[in-house]
Amino acid sequence: MSVIDQPLTTTPARTSFITKILRFRELAIVVAILLVFAATYFKNTSFASTASLQQLLSGPSIVILLAVGETLVIVTRNVDLSVGSVLGLSAYLVGDLFVHYPHMPVVLALFIGLLIGMVCGVVNGVIVAYARMPALVVTLGMLYIIRGIDAIIVNGVQILPSQIPQSFINLGAGAVLGIPYLFLIAVGTVAIVGYSMRTFRPARDFYAIGSNPEAAVLAGVRVQRRVFSAFAISGALAGLGGALWLAEFATVASTAGSGYELNVVAAVVVGGVAIFGGSGTVLGAALGALLLNTIDQALVAAGVSSFWNQAVAGFLLLVAIAFDRYVSVGAEKILRVEGAHRGNA
């Protein structure tokens, strides 16, 4: 029986338990988003204006995009802390290309951004998967290396809105039927990757690796290749996010994307992806990003100090990690009880 047919370290009871918890977690996040929105609306009715609603959707779109790639990495028991730096590098290089080639097609600009990010992700993947170095150390180092390279390339020069084609700016500011293009791109990415994670064996191998890397090797899973691909995808999506960042803000400097890695990891973990790997969904990560952005916008609308944005995000991150630990302990208890019943049978 293949790893797809029978999880490496889970039984039907544990799988059912984890599935129910994840579904409850995602539903709880949706409820939390609605409650925050309703509470803020009663305090400030302009929170439900068309402009505000579009901001609630477009605001987390780039974080959602990066969170999709981060989910793949974290599910395999790793982490990618370089996504913010990759975003900044991609945003500036794409902007610089527009300065020299103002008639460059929008699709080509997006592809170049994706390619820049993929190169960075490949470097991370090679070092982590094949050189077997800790992902935390590698990606933290890459965070500073890429940021340093970005600062050298930028050299104090800022890309201005007047240097970006209007067709590209429209991608970041436009909408169809009131739904921002950025949000539609993010939703499309979540749908494609989420479907792949549920359907195709190579994608489902990520869960097997995160559940038990040693058992995954024994089951014939190509662990190194899968981990490498997770980092490559994460880098590619961060690069694409950089190009979209440029489209949204129409300007970029060497500080672009600073601190994004923390927002992305927080969104992923709050969204139900276990920080220790093996479980979670890209849908949950996307909902986590949407919840954090809704809270940010609600605090602004309520006139609360911006300090509380990070404080609330940090609190939710700690709660999510504690909850994941609770789920893990509960699953282990189920396994022990099931094992005892089998032993007495």
Lookup: tokens for 316: 């939710």
Average pLDDT over residues 225-234: 95
User: 190: burial class by Cβ within 10 Å (0-12, 13-18, 19+)?
Assistant: buried
**Run of H or E residues at 187:** helix 181-199
Average pLDDT over residues 207-235: 89
CATH class of 12-336: mainly alpha
Residue whose pair of structure tokens reads 């539609």 in the numeric block: 184
**Residue extents of the structural domains in the chain:** 12-336
Statement: residue 337 has pLDDT above 60 = no
Which of 41-55, 239-253, 292-306 has maximum average pLDDT? 239-253
CB 1, CB 220: distance < 8 Å: no
Q: Look at phi and psi of residue 177 and say left if phi exceeds 0, alpha if psi is from -120 to 50, else beta.
A: left
CA 41 to chain centre: 28
Task: Identify any residues that bridge with 180 across adjacent strands, giving them in sequence order.
Answer: 175
Which residues in 109-214 belong to E strands, given as ranges? 175-176, 179-180
Model confidence band, residue 244 (pLDDT cutoffs 50, 70, 90): very high
pLDDT at 277: 78
Q: Residue 236's closest CA among 69, 60, 54, 1?
A: 69
Question: Using CA atoms, how far apart are residues 122 and 240, in angstroms rounded to an integer?
Answer: 15
CB 273, CB 321: distance < 8 Å: no
Specify the amino acid at residue 200.
F
pLDDT, tens only, 1-37 = 333 333 444 445 555 555 555 566 777 888 888 888 8
Question: Which position has the higher pLDDT, 158 or 236?
Answer: 236
